[in-house]
């Protein structure tokens, strides 16, 4: 053991040094409390033998300051004193000492006391180690309980908790909060074609893109369930959310994940539903999710491979056309004339004349605009159904829920 001997008498220090060296201990020496404190900090002794009465700083004060250093720097302190009164012992223990021996101390007693203290110190260290391991395991467990096992994103449970918190925060701060619900297009067919393992790999790649497009620390990408994902975007306007949605689709398109059986593109695509909680509104999480889900349903209905915003079907909806066009311009996308969608399940602009008229009649209405998202169009696909960042128009009737 590394033992710090503190005594103002050089003779006593020398005597102890001889005894302790014989017992195979390493000895450090200090002549007063102040010097002892310096060595305590610099040398980290395993045990301290300290006199009570010393000039500059006495043993009590030195012990108190050693104990004030905290649990991590703990080492046993044994007082060595010529004072025999019970009160002296009491004071020494009170100051932080662990034992009190009256000088002169026999070599046998000193050796036995040091062994006992060593045992105590070993147990204490083990306890510290175990509690550190326990704290690390707890942190790990807590992280795992928030994580989706396959993708490593936040899981549904954590998403639910976060959304509730973010809604409260948004209502306090008066900031907008956006939510994007994301669903892979024709994923069942993808599984059928490439197997469940292939499907799992694809989910991981989509998760990777989601992480990549989250620019702000507060953004939370999560797996909502199955092949559905969700993004919580605090302090984000509808226009901002649209930019994120576009970035995500562009990132997926850039991966060029072949999806031969997709009816909308030869590469994997996403449909997205955006909803924003405007500043000062008090909606529950389920309402915001429902809004995003309705927008997602519309994206599916209008041909997939696109992002739709909740509220855009109303002429005076909260998301203005100008905002969308700005966001689209930021993405390098341009508006084009409405085009037919081969994948639109029920209604499309080409089959529904009201779609075109509504698009043309009101430039201030964002109602019927949604853009075709990046991704290469399969050969022979009608214009506006695939790659190239075209904008499409179509009016769909929301009749139910999207996705699984």
Instruction: Report the nearest approach of Mg ion to the CB of residue 285 (Å).
Output: 19
Read off the DSSP letter of residue 203.
Answer: H
Binding of residue 191 to ligand GH3 (CB under 6 A): yes
For residue 80, the surrounding DSSP H or E stretch is: strand 77-81
The number of C-alpha atoms within 13 Å of 84 and in the hemisphere containing its C-beta is 3
Q: Which of 90, 94, 129, 227 is catalytic?
A: 227
The 3 state secondary structure assigned to 255-320 is HCCECCCCCCCCECCEEEEEEEECCCCCCCHHHHHHHHHHHHHHHHHCCCCCEEECCCCCCCCCCC
Tokens 């089959």 belong to residue: 351
Beta bridge partners of 391: 371
By CB under 6 A, tell whether 304 contacts ligand GH3: yes
Nearest to ligand GH3 of 54, 292 (CB atom): 292
> Is there a contact between 300 and 403 (Cβ–Cβ < 8 Å)?
yes
Beta bridge partners of 365: none
Is 404 a residue that touches Mg ion (CB under 5 A)?
yes
Residue from the set 187, 229, 267, 297 that interacts with ligand GH3 by CB under 6 A: 187
* 306 contacts ligand GH3 (rule: CB under 6 A): no
The distance of closest approach from Cβ of residue 265 to ligand GH3 in the complex, given in angstroms and rounded to an integer, is 11
Cis peptide, bond prior to residue 137, ω within 30 of zero: no
Contact 77, 50 (CB under 8 A): yes
Between residues 230 and 355, which has the closer beta carbon with respect to Mg ion? 230
With contacts defined by CB under 6 A, name the span among 77-85, 188-196, 277-285, 327-335 that binds ligand GH3: 188-196
The mark string for 111-150 relative to ligand GH3 (x by CB under 6 A, - otherwise) is ---------------------------------------x
Q: Is 308 a catalytic residue?
A: no
Report the candidate in 200, 229, 199 with the shortest Cα–Cα distance to residue 214: 229
Tokens of 205: 């790649």
The residue among 54 and 377 lying less far from ligand GH3, judged by its C-beta, is 377
Does residue 404 interact with ligand GH3 by CB under 6 A?
Answer: yes
User: Which residue in 1, 52, 92, 203 binds ligand GH3 (CB under 6 A)?
Assistant: 203
Per CB under 6 A, contacts with ligand GH3 among 274-303 are: 300
Nearest to 378 by CA among 249, 247, 262, 257: 262
Query: Does residue 184 bind ligand GH3 (CB under 6 A)?
Result: yes
Closest-approach residue to ligand GH3 (CB) = 199
Q: Which is nearer to ligand GH3, 323 or 398 (CB)?
A: 398
Mark 6-21 as b/e (b = at least 16 C-beta within 10 Å).
Answer: bbbeeebbebbbebbe
Q: How far apart are CA 258 and CA 279, in angstroms?
A: 41
Q: How many CB atoms are located within 10 Å of the residue 170 CB? A: 25
261 vs 183: CA distance, rounded Å: 17
Q: Which of 79, 187, 194, 267 binds Mg ion (CB under 5 A)?
A: 187
Q: Is residue 196 a contact residue for ligand GH3 (CB under 6 A)?
A: yes
Query: CA 108 from chain center: how many Å?
Result: 57
Q: Does 204 bind ligand GH3 (CB under 6 A)?
A: no
Between 60 and 186, whose beta carbon lies closer to ligand GH3?
Answer: 186
199 contacts ligand GH3 (rule: CB under 6 A): yes
| Residue 185 interacting with ligand GH3 (CB under 6 A) | yes
Which residue, 317, 321, 148, 180, is CA-closest to 246?
180
Residue 51, classed as helix, strand or coil, is strand
Interface residue with Mg ion, options 183, 219, 239, 328 (CB under 5 A): 183
Told to check if 403 binds Mg ion by CB under 5 A, we report: yes
Answer for which of 44, 126, 188, 216 binds ligand GH3 (CB under 6 A) is 188
Sites of contact with Mg ion (CB under 5 A): 183-184, 187, 228, 403-404
Sites of contact with ligand GH3 (CB under 6 A): 150, 183-189, 191, 196, 199-200, 203, 226-227, 300, 304, 403-404
Show which residues are catalytic: 227
């Amino acid at each position: 053991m590394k033992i710090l001997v503190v005594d103002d008498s050089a003779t006593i220090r020398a005597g102890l040094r001889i005894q302790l060296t014989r017992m195979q201990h390493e000895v450090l020496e200090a002549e007063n409390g102040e010097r002892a404190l310096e060595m305590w900090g610099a040398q980290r002794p395993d045990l301290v033998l300290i006199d009570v009465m010393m000039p500059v700083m006495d043993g009590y004060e030195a012990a108190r300051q050693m104990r004030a250093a905290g649990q991590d720097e703990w080492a046993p302190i044994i007082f060595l004193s010529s004072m025999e009164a019970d009160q002296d012992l009491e004071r020494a223990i009170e100051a932080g000492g662990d034992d009190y021996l009256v000088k002169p101390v026999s070599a046998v007693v000193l050796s036995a006391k040091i062994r006992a203290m060593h045992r105590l110190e070993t147990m204490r260290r083990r306890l510290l180690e175990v509690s550190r391991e326990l704290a690390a395991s707890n942190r790990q467990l807590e992280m795992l309980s928030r994580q989706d096992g396959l993708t490593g994103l936040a899981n549904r449970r954590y998403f639910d908790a976060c959304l509730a918190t973010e809604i409260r925060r948004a209502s306090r701060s008066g900031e907008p909060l956006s939510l994007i619900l994301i669903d892979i297009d024709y994923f069942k067919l993808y599984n059928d074609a490439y197997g469940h393992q292939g499907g799992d790999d694809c989910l991981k790649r989509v998760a990777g893109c989601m992480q990549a497009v989250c620019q702000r620390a507060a953004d939370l990408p999560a797996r909502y369930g199955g092949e559905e994902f969700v993004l919580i975007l605090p302090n984000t306007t509808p226009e901002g959310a649209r930019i994120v949605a576009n970035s995500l689709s562009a990132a997926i398109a850039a991966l060029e994940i072949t999806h031969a059986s997709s009816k909308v593109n030869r590469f994997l695509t996403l449909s997205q539903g955006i909803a924003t909680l405007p500043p000062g509104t008090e909606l529950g999480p389920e309402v915001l999710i429902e809004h995003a889900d309705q927008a997602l349903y519309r994206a599916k209905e209008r041909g997939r491979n696109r992002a739709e915003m909740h509220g855009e079907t109303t002429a005076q909806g909260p998301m203005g056309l100008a905002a969308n066009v700005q966001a689209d311009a930021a993405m390098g996308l341009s508006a084009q004339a409405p085009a037919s969608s081969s994948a639109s399940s029920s209604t499309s602009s080409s089959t529904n004349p009201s779609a075109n008229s509504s698009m043309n009649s009101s430039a201030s209405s964002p109602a019927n605009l949604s853009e075709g998202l990046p991704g290469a169009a399969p050969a022979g696909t009608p214009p506006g159904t695939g790659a190239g960042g075209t904008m499409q128009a179509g009016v769909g009737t929301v009749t139910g829920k999207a996705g699984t």
